[in-house]
Amino acid sequence: MSQPNETQASIEAPYPSNFYAWYCVIVLLGIYLNSFLDRQILGLIVGPMKSTMELSDSEVGFLMGPSFAIFYTIAGLPLGWLADRVSRRWLIAVGQLFWSLASVGFGLSRSYTQMIGARIGVGVGEASLSPSAYSFIADTFPPNRLARAMSVYSMGIYVGGGLANLVGGQLTGYLAPDELHTMPIVGERFGWQIIFFAIATPTIPLTLLLLTLREPTRRGLAVVRDAAGKVQAVKVPIRDFLTYAKENRRTILTHGFGFSFLSFSGYGAAAWMPAYFMRIHGWTPKEAGTYLGLAGMLVGPLGLISAGWFADRLNAKGYRDSKMRVGVMCATAWFPFGILMPLMPTAELSFAMLIPATFFAAMPWGIAPAAIQEIMPNQMRGQASAVYLFIINLVGLGLGPQVLALVTDYVFADENQVHLSLLWTTTLAHVFAAALLLYGLSAFRKSRDYCDAWLEKNSR
Report the alpha-carbon distance of residue 182 to residue 188 in Å, rounded: 4
Overall average pLDDT of the 218-233 stretch: 63
Residues 29/333/401/280 CA torsion (nearest 10 deg): -110
- Sketch the domain layout of the chain as residue ranges: 12-212+237-453
Nearest one of 48, 58, 87 to 190, comparing CA atoms: 48
Single-letter amino acid, residue 197 = F
Q: How far apart are CA 442 and CA 214, in angstroms?
A: 37
d(CA 380, CA 373): 9
**Which pLDDT belongs to residue 117?**
93
Going by pLDDT thresholds of 50, 70 and 90, the confidence category of residue 419 is very high
Percent of the chain with pLDDT over 90: 45
166/173 Cα distance (integer angstroms): 11
Count the alpha carbons within 13 Å of 446 in the hemisphere toward its beta carbon. Answer: 12
Residue 10 has pLDDT above 70, yes or no: no
Distance CA 426, CA 339 (A): 8
Pick the CATH number of 12-212+237-453 from 1.10.420.10, 3.40.50.1980, 1.20.1250.20, 3.40.50.970: 1.20.1250.20
- What pLDDT is recorded for position 8? 38
Q: What angle do CA 211, 300, 334 make, to 5 degrees?
A: 140
pTM, two decimal places: 0.75
Q: Which long-range contacts (CB under 8 A, 24 or more apart) does 444-449 make?
A: 444/251, 444/254, 444/255, 444/320, 444/321, 444/323, 444/324, 444/371, 444/375, 445/320, 445/321, 446/251, 447/248, 447/251, 447/375, 448/320, 448/321, 448/374, 448/375
Q: State the Cα torsion 117-118-124-127 to the nearest 10°.
A: -140
d(C-alpha 121, C-alpha 102), whole Å: 5
**DSSP annotation of 3:** -
Which of 259-273, 288-302, 374-388, 436-450 is the most confident on average? Answer: 436-450
Q: How far apart are CA 381 and CA 300, in angstroms?
A: 26
**Mean pLDDT across 37-54:** 78
Given a cut of 70, is residue 12 above it in pLDDT? no
CB 267 within 8 A of CB 401: yes
> pLDDT band at residue 224, thresholds of 50, 70 and 90?
low
Helices of type H across 109-189? 112-126, 129-138, 146-174
Q: Say whether pLDDT at 94 is over 50.
A: yes
Confidence band (pLDDT; 50, 70, 90) for 211? very high
Helix, strand, coil percentages (3-state) for the chain, rounded to 5, are 80, 5, 20
Give yes or no for a contact between 92 and 128, defined as CB atoms under 8 angstroms apart. Answer: yes
CA-based Rg of the chain, rounded to a whole angstrom? 22
365-418 tens-digit pLDDT: 989 999 998 999 888 888 898 889 889 888 887 788 889 989 998 999 888 899
* 180-183 vs 187-190, strand pairing mode: antiparallel
Instruction: Report the pLDDT averaged over residues 289-300.
Output: 87
Query: Measured between alpha carbons, how far is 193 from 172 in angstroms, rounded to an integer?
Result: 11
